[in-house]
Chain A
Amino acid sequence: MATEPTRLMGLFDKEEQAVSAIRSLRDDGFTLERVHGPIPSHLIADALALPKSRVGWFTLAGGITGFLAGFLLAIFTATRWHLIVSGKPVVALVPFVIVGFEFTILFAVFGNVLGLISQARLPRFGPIAPYDPRLTGHKFGVLASCNAARQKDLHHFFEGKGAQIIADEGGQS
């Protein structure tokens, strides 16, 4: 009969300790589940070998949409009344560049926000466990799992890396 997996989180004071734990976890046969930290640490990101974020594609799509929307809006409103103003053509592309540019930025930012919240899966109000309130402040957390039979090994592993250990008992609401 297969044993239930168990999860433990090691809380570290320094990012270097967290990086060391992340690099050794897999070698020791444990499964790395999540890593938390108060800053966007490049050291941790490198250790996790995270793929490049796809937020940029949302930004690009937003920007292209905005560019077209800005020009088309200006052309649409100008062609409702064919009035020549200040000797400019009715569809005056040079001044419309400004509208196109501003809409490009605006919609690119909308795309960026959409990409950010969809990719980072925000908002997320449900509880997550294990979690420690110090993770957003000054601690780095590494969550790992293993077979229940190896729980002590995982415990020793985190202790050896200088971590304070919290078990999977409660969550953040």
Chain B
Amino acid sequence: MSETALTYQMVDDTVLDTLRPPEKTYWVTVALLFVGILLGAGCWLYQILTGIGVGGQNNPVHWGTYLINFVFWVGIAHSGTLISAILHLFRAGWRNPIARAAETMTVFAVCTAGLYPFIHLGRVWMVFYMLPLPNQRTLWPNFTSPLMFDVVAISTYLTVSSLFWFTGMLPDLAIIRDRAQGLRRKIFAVLSLGWTGEYEQWRHYARGYLFFAALATPLVISVHSVVSWDFALGVVPGWHTTIFAPYFVAGAIHSGLAMVITLMIPLRKIFHYEKIITIGVLEMVAKTIVFTGLIVGFAYGTEVFIAWYSHNIVEMETFRWRALGDYALEYWIMVTCNTVIPLLFLFKPVRTSLKWLFVISIFVNIGMWYERFVIIIGSVAHDFIPYAWGLYRPTIVEFGIMLGSFCLFFFLFVLFVKHLPSVSMTEIKEALPAGGGHGD
């Protein structure tokens, strides 16, 4: 591993170098992303003022891109916790260079996902009805509903992943404080909570971090299981199946890992992280994508097999129509991008080439978006009664909101990488063999 050449000081210098005042191109990127957010916000405002009908959701498809994007972003959020918590428990050292960026991705992706239920509500000011608060009609939320499970699960996930992210950053914030001057020093003194690296602090920190990881692991599995039950607890053909929870969790990790590669490759190039985020690290992510892709492919096959094996004509028709009907193109994009294309990572020259890694990660992202399209739209558009069948296409307003949400995610991420350490200096140092060299 080329990390052997690193010293503690080189790690600090490399990461802190990314926090220098940015060039003009950075602010142009930030401004463009902000314009995208304004466009999305404008579309949402138009929807609020005009009515939810400006979106394409109507009989029989009431859950359109708003739910697709909600599930997509929650899915993206999952690999962050996989990398930071589950791989931490397994002591997988290769996760250290990418853990911080993946955790950050998690926090921002959950924030983005969390917007969609608000958007889909239409009358967004009624959002407090989802909270267990007394209101003027003395009505309370009913926790037997999977939609209420979602409220609890997503808000718990956002809170826990944010706290996990901030706690993990404390020692790094202290490093920045100790190298900063003036106002910047004061800001980081507050943010680092007075961390000094005293062993009395490390003793409790290491224990607390371990518990964080141990708690985040079942949480991450539960959250996408709960999201899957939004569908699986309904009787709609194509949704009402016990496979949904593991299928959704595997899919979420699949898409999240792909997004990690999509983000890491430019980050590595722009900030000269070549010695820290090595090809070996990206290769390990690619291998994991092969594994999750196979699980997802197995789930696609199982769904079709069980529909045939059940002799339930409605289920059989649903899956025949998915593959051969009006949304066949979307179905085959899903299958190809999620299960066939990632198999290219079985070849070492492909999974060690930055270009191939980046391109395939984009394909997986596209495939996973279409997976949500196929599941959500494909089932309600073509359920029990032929009289009620219908088709759905997103409107320009929905595309605008979708563009805004993507811009919001990348806007937050771009701001983060220039203002906070995008690689955990402490965890990189921990992974250096025999403490590395120490320079100075």
Contacts and interface: CB of A to CB of B under 8 A. Distances in A.
Same complex for A and B? Answer: yes
Interface of A: 13-16, 34-41, 44-45, 48, 50, 52-53, 55-56, 59, 70, 73-74, 76-78, 80-81, 83, 85-86, 88, 92, 95-96, 98-99, 101-103, 105-106, 108-109, 112-113, 115-117, 119-126, 128, 131, 133-139, 172-173
B179 A55 contact: no
Contacts of A86: 144
Contacts, number: 197
Nearest to B432: A39
Contacts of B4: none
Given A40-B205, A95-B149, A102-B222, A81 B212 contact: no
Given A36-B198, A119-B204, A125-B189, A109 B142 contact: no
7 contacts: A16-B435, A74-B143, A81-B140, A86-B144, A101-B218, A102-B226, A124-B194
**Residue of B9, B145, B148, B204 with most chain A CB atoms under a 10 A cut-off:** B204
A107 B306 CA distance: 40
A15 B432 CA distance: 13
A36 B197 contact: yes
B158 to A, nearest CB: 10
Interface stretch (B49-57, B170-178, B329-337): B170-178
B163 interface: yes
A66 to B, nearest CB: 9
Contact of A108 (B144, B189, B215, B429): B215
B144 A14 contact: no
Interface in B125-164: 132, 138-145, 148-149, 152-153, 156, 159-160, 163-164
A120 B163 CA distance: 16
A72 B102 CA distance: 35
Size bracket, chain B contacts: 35 or more
Contacts of A137: 8-9, 12, 175, 178-179
A74 B145 CA distance: 11
B242 interface: no
**Residue of A36, A131, A137, A172 with most chain B CB atoms under a 10 A cut-off:** A137
Nearest to B229: A98
B219 A105 contact: yes
Given A39-B426, A122-B201, A109 B222 contact: no
Contact of A81 (B139, B203, B219, B440): B139
Contacts of B164: 109
Given A55-B207, A56-B207, A115-B208, A40 B156 contact: no
A136 B195 contact: yes
Closest 3 CB pairs of A and B: A124-B194, A138-B8, A133-B178
Contacts of B160: 105-106, 109
A98 B204 contact: no
B123 interface: no
A126 B194 CA distance: 8
B200 A39 contact: no
B14 interface: no
Contacts of A55: 204, 207-208, 211
A77 B197 CA distance: 46
Contacts of B211: 55-56, 59, 108, 112
B198 A34 contact: yes
